[in-house]
Amino acid sequence: MKKLLLTGFEPFLNYPINPTEEIVQALDGAVIGDYMVCSKLLPVEFRLSGDRIIEYIQDILPDAVISLGLAAGRSQITLERIGINCADGEKDNTGYKPLGERIVADGADGMFTSLPLNQMLEGLIEAGYPASISNSAGTYVCNQVMYRVLHHLQETKQSKQAGFIHVPANHSLALHMGKIPSWSQQDLQEAVQVLINHLN
Ligand code: PCA
Domains of the chain: 2-197 (3.40.630.20)
* Confidence (pLDDT) at 182: 98
pLDDT in tens, 11-64: 999 999 999 999 999 999 999 999 999 999 999 999 999 999 999 999 999 999
93 Cα–ligand 1 center, Å? 11
The answer to whether the CB of 44 is under 6 A from ligand 1 is yes
Whole-number Å distance between alpha carbons of 56 and 45: 16
Q: What is the DSSP string of 110-149?
A: EEE--S-HHHHHHHHHHTT--EEEES---SSHHHHHHHHH
Reduced to 3 states (helix: H, G, I; strand: E, B; else coil), residue 4 is strand
pLDDT in tens, 165-175: 999 999 999 99
Q: Quick one: pLDDT band at residue 144, thresholds 50, 70, 90?
A: very high
Looking from the CA of residue 20, the nearest atom of ligand 1 is 6
Looking from the CA of residue 144, the nearest atom of ligand 1 is 9
Reduced to 3 states (helix: H, G, I; strand: E, B; else coil), residue 152 is helix
Average pLDDT over the chain, rounded to an integer: 98
Mean pLDDT of 176-196: 98
Whole-number Å distance between alpha carbons of 48 and 107: 18
* Confidence (pLDDT) at 32: 98
